[in-house]
């Protein structure tokens, strides 16, 4: 290593860029979907130095990004530069299909060498189908769904599960590093990353139900909710899910809505669909479906999925 | 504070002893129940310098302890020294009742100022009942069930949930520190610590089921079990339960039996009994009951409870 | 067949007595437990011509029977005549144990040749235990639990499942015929009849849940509840349970309480206990436990078990 | 009534025709789908005197019908006579869509005044959609799914749930009477009849699971399966489902496959989809999904759905 006269933090910065792929900085990046997750993710892409063009159905949400230097497109297709990269982060299969295959979709425009990084939580089926269609257009579809709530997205702390073509994955790695703190590679079939993603949401939902039942039992026995939660989430279950969700559930701190119950049901139903297709019965997932559907039927569809705990409480006569 | 000429670490050491109760070293301690958990716990008591008398139904299991300096008693009552401490670590309510209230039980002999530290996983009801009976005999019953598998017991790494009389809890604290790495206090009613304990086992069983279903889905979709487990247990679920159990379940490493399926069913049924009494329905616990009962019916009652995963696999046509 | 000059109904009456056992009329019959089922059953015994002595914890309930000619006893034991028959129809295991084995219980007094017909819904375990104790006293314990609601009891339309000693069963047959419209014999081990009884209640509870879920789905789709119920219960499901319960559930006719939710939970829990002992997992029973417990937790423990349907409705945001 | 010189059976036959609607005899009827249900239904239409044209993907199945006088069509569209009636009895939504809307489908050809009687078990959604499309072509779509196994179809003993346009329903009534023993009318929206149909299959599946669990418990307690089934299905549950299915399940008589497990899963999943759409949670349906999926995963997808009982047995360690 050479001795340098430049300040330490500059060196660190350069090192980081070298670790990635400096040439990637010259990529034009398109970003579609500026919801509570997409916005901070796009901002991190911009901060990392990429030329960014964004699109959102409701254009007003793009303001913070255009203020920070992003270009605003009027149609999905317009975020794409032929042969470059487009990231999509949209609500569901229908939205992904529309921005990709619709009349103003990116598929035609992206063209040879283009890469579509699909980071939304969608079904394995649509991933497989879009991967084929991109291949026909000589572009590449990479599934790269993320774990983390909006705060994690803002802090560049997402975990990313990825699957797709090897070369394309190498090319987009610096871009992913700009958004997350770790990338887990599940091979060449994009659909697998989507299975991984909904599996993770299944695990979280299951932990929420478990903590809710446990806390309700404790409370009805005169045991302090926060105290028993603390015992578990500082020892055997000392992990982010049990800490972040656990403490909020124990304190009934439900007002910040990070992930709506109705979206959780969508994901559990993706799990159940995958479970059916794979002939792999998942009784806990079936129960979580019932729990979430009950919450939605009782008017809590737009509340945070932590409110599964409210359903548990109601079933025990508590309000 | 006085200025001291002694090195810092010596002061720290003294402070630790003072924080506890140095005099407790002079206590005679009785220990009943030398199973896979009780044996290493008793050994740690001995190593901490206590005079130890042990009893086990099958006396041959006491050998390692007598070799290390413990005295062997022929009847439960004989481990007790009036006014001192007895620890029990037995299989279930019936065994606890027998060594406490039976003809050779400790209750009569323990007498005024005696403390019974009940560390077994038993029902809240028996704790309440024994607490009353001890009070009639002017001794004290403390519930202090533990979390951790035999390896943790050996390493003095148990977590202890405790409830009972305040003064007695202070007096036995050094003894607990000899066995565990942390003590969580749930107040003065012993039964509460037992609720906490079985709640913890419910949470673990629920995590085992969740991981089993998730891994089975992954495997049937051609995703590597160990790889997906690693994603989760190094990020969102980076906690001992997901790491220790998770890695073993992913690798189908079931041959070391730390906790038998039939004991797990006993504990889930304690949870369900408490849930019924408290009118706090727990559908996940109901399902875990069914899963464990199925495993037992299929001949796996004496296998580790991680083999709930085998049941999940069988339900999906895998062997 | 002989031509007879006597009126037809007299012949019919004689035939009935011959079919049974005329000598049994000389039996003194004791009856313990005058609840909503016991009272009409006892009245039918009296109407059939037996000398009847009754006991009930709350003596005022005996009035209709004493008015009709029954003798009132002050203690359980006093309903028994040595060598004769006692019928018990009480709330649960504890009550049965108390009137049988308690200080004023019937066991000692019943003596050689005495028969205890235990018609309550109790556990198989208590049946086995009481059968042994009666045998030690040279009397016989017969389990003979019944199916039917209070109206059926009044109309002499109960169905009776019976198990126990063969000779004793023959001797009490006329007495059973005075209370029911059919007797089903399950052999010589009394406990089996108790398994049969709680199995029947499991089947009814399961049908109630099924109809409730179906009707709720129909209603939420704008289909008339009574009309769809009628389709099923006049065709594929044209049976008393689907007709009587079904029509009431469809019409939300819950005000006549025939069988309380808390008693239903007791019975489902007897099923679950038997299921555990037999290593025969019953996931529907587990769910019914949860449904009933939820209803009780929400304050409906003393309502009819048909109100499981209210729980289903609440889970869907109705009510 | 007039005295007649003709033989009795001829009168009966005439009376039957009069009860219907003689003018309808002049209708040309098309029939698509000659599976185990469709074949006997079509034969009954023919026997009732209608001019019948049939279509089946596998034409060889049409032989018994052409032998009996039916005409064989080469394409779905060819069974339709403009302004007349077509009956469809096919496997699922996809098949129904194909024979209706496909290039050779009936929709265009049926034309004004034509009626499409859709008797298959399909989703409410496809019924609504096809009803709209028929209306655009001035024909009418009637949903008329049936209850009953192949034997019932052969015996003209089906139960029919019907919904759709009032006048059309009146016009097709004689045709329905030729196939079934009763028609239940659920109003003018076709989709409602489809909800009714899958609700019925839900009720049957639920009864199968209930009987299976009950019989397994009985057997493991040494109680004869057929005897306990008889108690229930001749008394409280004296209905066709508990008799036909119940006796076969008790005797493990599974070899005649009336309704395959994989079709049952299709229907339970239609129930769950309707339940989700209506926000009406159905935990029993969720469990039935798991039970059926397990059976399929274990290789029993083409066996009769009564073999849910085999799953129950396996869960209890029986083969």
Residue B5: pLDDT band (50, 70, 90) is: very low
d(CA D33, CA D95): 9
Query: What's the residue count for chain A?
Result: 319
Reduce the DSSP state of residue A303 to 3 states and report it: coil
Q: Which of C188, C215, C237 is the last residue of a domain?
A: C188
Tell me chain B's radius of gyration from C-alpha atoms. 21
Q: Is residue A3 part of a domain?
A: no
Q: Is residue D294 part of a domain?
A: yes
Going from the C-alpha of A74 to that of each of A32, A41, A58, A105, A121, the distances in angstroms are 11, 20, 10, 12, 24
Residues A133-161 as b or e (16 or more Cβ within 10 Å = b):
ebeebebbbbbbbbbbbbebbbebbbbbb
Q: Looking at the predicted structure, is the pLDDT value of residue C30 above 80?
A: yes
Does residue C30 contact residue C80 with C-beta atoms inside 8 Å?
yes
Domain match, C172 and C234 both: no
Q: Looking at the predicted structure, is the pLDDT value of residue D19 above 50?
A: no
In the 8-state DSSP scheme, what is residue B298?
Answer: I
d(CA B127, CA C245): 43
d(CA B133, CA B139): 9
* B167 exposure class (CB count in 10 Å sphere: 0-12, 13-18, 19+): exposed
pLDDT score of D319: 72
- Average pLDDT for chain C: 92
d(CA B234, CA B172): 37
Q: Which one of C308, C317, C319 makes the best mutation probe of the A interface by having the most chain A beta carbons within 10 Å?
A: C317
Residues of A in contact with D269 (CB under 8 A): 276
d(CA D218, CA C187): 13
Mean pLDDT throughout D98-114? 95
pLDDT score of D25: 57
Residue B295: closest C-alpha in chain D? D315
Residue with tokens 């009027």: A74
Q: What tens digit of pLDDT does each residue of D165-222 get?
A: 999 999 999 999 999 999 999 999 999 999 999 999 999 999 999 999 999 999 999 9
- Beta carbons of B290 and C286 less than 8 Å apart: yes
Question: Which chains touch C (3+ CB pairs under 8 A)?
Answer: A, B, D
Query: Which helix (H) or strand (E) covers residue A50, if one does?
Result: none
Domain match, D92 and D199 both: no
Q: What tens digit of pLDDT does each residue of D119-135 get?
A: 999 999 999 999 999 99
- Beta carbons of A315 and C299 less than 8 Å apart: no
d(CA C231, CA B176): 67
Does residue A25 contact residue A83 with C-beta atoms inside 8 Å?
no
ipTM: 0.90
CA distance C288 to chain A (A): 14
Give phi and psi for C261, each to the nearest 5: -55, -40
Reduce the DSSP state of residue A3 to 3 states and report it: coil
Q: What tens digit of pLDDT does each residue of D21-31 get?
A: 444 556 899 99
Mean pLDDT throughout C254-258? 90
d(CA A11, CA A9): 5
Q: What tens digit of pLDDT does each residue of C208-250 get?
A: 999 999 999 999 999 999 999 999 999 999 999 999 999 999 9
pLDDT score of C14: 36
Q: Looking at the predicted structure, is the pLDDT value of residue C42 above 60?
A: yes
Residues of A in contact with B203 (CB under 8 A): 210-211, 214, 232, 236-237
Residue with tokens 């019919």: C12
Residue B25: pLDDT band (50, 70, 90) is: low
Q: Which of D188, D214, D233 is the last residue of a domain?
A: D188
Domain match, B46 and B119 both: yes
Domain match, A175 and A26 both: yes
- Beta carbons of C279 and B296 less than 8 Å apart: yes
Domain match, A202 and A181 both: no
The residues near B12 (Cβ < 8 Å, ≥ 6 apart) are: none
Q: Is residue C1 part of a domain?
A: no
Domain match, C98 and C222 both: no
Residues of D in contact with C230 (CB under 8 A): 184
How many independent structural domains does chain B possess? 2
Residues of D in contact with C312 (CB under 8 A): 281
Residues of A in contact with D283 (CB under 8 A): 287, 290
d(CA A111, CA A115): 9
Going from the C-alpha of D135 to that of each of A262, B241, D31, D140, the distances in angstroms are 35, 60, 20, 6
Residues of D in contact with A289 (CB under 8 A): 276, 286
Q: Is residue B3 part of a domain?
A: no
The residues near C268 (Cβ < 8 Å, ≥ 6 apart) are: C198, C201, C202, C205, C285, C288, C289, C292
Tokens of B219: 């495997």
Of the partner residues B280, B281, B297, the one whose CB lies closest to the CB of residue C281: B297
CA distance C210 to chain B (A): 18
Residue A131: pLDDT band (50, 70, 90) is: very high
- Beta carbons of D206 and C202 less than 8 Å apart: no
Residues of C in contact with B286 (CB under 8 A): 286-287, 289-290
Among candidate residues C169, C192, C197, C266, the one labeled active-site is C197
**Beta strand segments in B51-139, E:** 51-55, 71-72, 85-88, 115-118
| Nearest residue to A292 (alpha-carbon basis) of A216, A204, A199 | A204
Q: Is residue C136 part of a domain?
A: yes
Q: Looking at the predicted structure, is the pLDDT value of residue A15 above 60?
A: no
Tell me chain C's radius of gyration from C-alpha atoms. 21
Give strand pairing partners of D260: D304
Of the partner residues A294, A297, A317, the one whose CB lies closest to the CB of residue C297: A317
CA distance C109 to chain B (A): 33
Can you say whether residue C125 is alpha, beta or left, with left for phi > 0 and alpha for psi between -120 and 50 degrees?
alpha
Going from the C-alpha of B80 to that of each of B32, B39, B45, B190, C197, the distances in angstroms are 10, 18, 15, 21, 49
pLDDT score of B308: 98
Does residue D80 contact residue D86 with C-beta atoms inside 8 Å?
yes
Q: Looking at the predicted structure, is the pLDDT value of residue D9 above 50?
A: no
| Nearest residue to C200 (alpha-carbon basis) of C256, C159, C142, C238 | C159
- Beta carbons of A289 and D286 less than 8 Å apart: yes
Mean pLDDT throughout A294-302? 98
Of the partner residues A280, A282, A293, the one whose CB lies closest to the CB of residue D276: A293
Domain match, A150 and A79 both: yes
User: How many CB atoms sit inside 10 A of residue A25's CB?
Assistant: 14
d(CA A242, CA A236): 10
Q: How many CA atoms lie within 13 A of A124 on its CB side?
A: 26
Q: Is residue D2 part of a domain?
A: no
CA distance D280 to chain C (A): 5
Give phi and psi for B182, each to the nearest 5: -170, 145
The residues near D252 (Cβ < 8 Å, ≥ 6 apart) are: D309
CA B301 to chain centre: 20
Residue B232: closest C-alpha in chain A? A200
In the 8-state DSSP scheme, what is residue B23?
Answer: G
d(CA D188, CA D170): 12
Q: Looking at the predicted structure, is the pLDDT value of residue D236 above 60?
A: yes
* B136 exposure class (CB count in 10 Å sphere: 0-12, 13-18, 19+): exposed
Q: What tens digit of pLDDT does each residue of B118-154 get?
A: 999 999 999 999 999 999 999 999 999 999 989 999 9
Q: Residue D230: which CATH number?
A: 1.10.1040.10
Q: Which of A137, A157, A188 is the last residue of a domain?
A: A188
Reduce the DSSP state of residue A308 to 3 states and report it: helix
Does residue B63 contact residue B141 with C-beta atoms inside 8 Å?
no
Q: Looking at the predicted structure, is the pLDDT value of residue B104 above 70?
A: yes
The residues near A87 (Cβ < 8 Å, ≥ 6 apart) are: A29, A30, A31, A32, A41, A42, A45, A117, A119, A175
Domain match, D24 and D118 both: yes
* C197 has catalytic annotation: yes
Residue ranges of chain B whose CB lies within 8 Å of a chain D CB:
294, 297-299, 314-317
Residue D245: pLDDT band (50, 70, 90) is: very high
Residue C300: closest C-alpha in chain A? A317
CA distance C284 to chain B (A): 10
Tokens of B224: 């590597």
CA distance B26 to chain A (A): 31
Q: Looking at the predicted structure, is the pLDDT value of residue D4 above 90?
A: no
Residues of D in contact with B298 (CB under 8 A): 315, 317
Tokens of C28: 């003194």
Tokens of A32: 């579609």
| Nearest residue to D225 (alpha-carbon basis) of D247, D241, D244 | D247
pLDDT score of C25: 57
- Average pLDDT for chain D: 92
Q: Is residue B1 part of a domain?
A: no
Q: Looking at the predicted structure, is the pLDDT value of residue B66 above 90?
A: yes
Domain match, B204 and B123 both: no
- Beta carbons of A237 and B186 less than 8 Å apart: no
Domain match, C199 and C163 both: no
Query: Which helix (H) or strand (E) covers residue C317, if one does?
Result: none
In the 8-state DSSP scheme, what is residue B282?
Answer: -
d(CA C215, CA C219): 6
Write down the pTM of the prediction.
Answer: 0.91
| Nearest residue to A234 (alpha-carbon basis) of B239, B144, C65 | B239
**Sheet architecture: strand order including A140-143:** A71-72, A51-55, A28-32, A85-88, A115-118, A140-143
Tokens of B301: 């009652």
Domain match, A161 and A220 both: no
- Beta carbons of D287 and A290 less than 8 Å apart: no
Look up the domain containing A263 and give its range: 195-315
Chain C to chain D Cβ contacts (< 8 Å): 183
Among candidate residues A61, A138, A192, A197, the one labeled active-site is A197
Q: Residue B130: which CATH number?
A: 3.40.50.720
pLDDT score of B258: 87
Domain match, C34 and C113 both: yes
Mean pLDDT throughout C64-80? 96
Tokens of B114: 């005696």
């Amino acid at each position: 290593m050479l001795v340098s006269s430049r300040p330490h933090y500059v060196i660190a910065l350069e090192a980081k860029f070298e670790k990635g792929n400096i040439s990637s900085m010259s990529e034009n990046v398109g970003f579609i979907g500026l919801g509570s997750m997409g916005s901070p993710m796009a901002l991190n892409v911009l901060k990392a130095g990429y030329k960014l063009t964004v699109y959102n159905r409701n254009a007003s949400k793009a303001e913070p990004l255009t203020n920070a230097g992003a270009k605003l497109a009027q149609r999905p297709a317009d975020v794409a530069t032929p042969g470059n990269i487009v990231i999509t982060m949209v609500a569901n299969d229908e939205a992904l299909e529309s921005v990709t295959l619709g009349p103003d979709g990116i598929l035609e425009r992206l063209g040879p060498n283009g890469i579509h990084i699909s980071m939304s939580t969608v079904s394995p089926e649509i991933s497989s189908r879009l991967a084929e269609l991109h291949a026909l257009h000589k572009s590449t579809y990479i599934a790269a769904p993320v774990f983390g709530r909006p705060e994690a997205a803002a802090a560049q702390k997402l975990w990313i599960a990825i699957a797709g073509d090897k070369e394309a994955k190498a090319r987009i790695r610096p871009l992913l590093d700009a958004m997350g703190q770790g990338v887990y590679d599940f091979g060449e079939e994009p659909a697998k990353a989507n299975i991984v993603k909904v599996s993770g949401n299944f695990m979280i939902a299951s932990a929420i139900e478990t903590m809710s039942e446990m806390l309700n039992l404790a409370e009805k026995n005169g045991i302090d909710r926060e105290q028993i939660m603390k015992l578990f989430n500082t020892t055997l279950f000392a992990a982010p899910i049990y800490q972040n969700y656990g403490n909020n559930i124990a304190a009934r701190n439900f007002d910040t809505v990070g992930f709506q119950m109705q979206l959780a049901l969508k994901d559990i139903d993706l799990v159940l669909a995958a479970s059916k297709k794979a002939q792999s019965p998942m009784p806990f997932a079936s129960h979580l479906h019932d729990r979430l559907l009950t919450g939605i039927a009782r008017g809590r569809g737009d509340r945070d999925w932590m409110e599964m705990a409210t359903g548990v409480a109601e079933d025990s006569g508590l309000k």
